[in-house]
Amino acid sequence: VKTGQGNALSELAKELRPMLAELPKAKTAKIVKVLIDALAKTPNSLYLQIDMCRDCIEWCKHEKRTFLRQRVECRLAGLYEQDQKYTPAIEILERLLLEVKKLDDKLLLVDIHLLECRTHYSVKNIAKSKAALTAAKTNANAIHCPPLTQAEIDLWSGIIAAREKDYRTSFSYFYEAFEAFHASESTAKATTA
């Protein structure tokens, strides 16, 4: 990662697949997540990440690893959103939403709705963005939400409130997001808030 060899990391993920098929599913999910996160730290690796996620999704379908596939698809939708390919991102998110709602995985639902909120906001569809944010808040209230996820919800609540010219509410949400990001030492996100 430090030497910027994203290709080697991507190849490592492919070489590990026979071994990953023998490991328990939870351990496999953790290893794949660590590999994708490590690749994300490599500079200029967006397209490598997209390719790695696609390959991983195909492998997950072949190995019937639904839990891992859903998380990697969510990550792929986020990468598409970063790459400004909004249509494929929205298509993945809509399909994932139907699937995950049946499983009632609230934490993944919150992540999907937040990503959907960002993507719809990027294409200037404020109504759908607001609806996705409301759904994220609803699901987050049903579970114990991690602090960074709650901060992300607060940040987007502030953005939507500012867009609607409700600056007092917006400030309150931004301040809550800033406090949470600052407490978690996520300085880049705290500066954004």
Q: Taking the complete model, does pTM exceed 0.75, yes or no? A: yes
Cβ–Cβ under 8 Å, residues 50 and 36: no
> Exposure of 121 by Cβ count < 10 A (0-12 exposed, 13-18 middle, 19+ buried)?
buried
Cβ–Cβ under 8 Å, residues 74 and 96: yes
Average the pLDDT over 156-178 and give the result: 94
At residue 1 the predicted structure's pLDDT band, cuts being 50, 70 and 90, is very low
At residue 188 the predicted structure's pLDDT band, cuts being 50, 70 and 90, is low
Torsion angles phi and psi, residue 80, rounded to 5: -60, -40
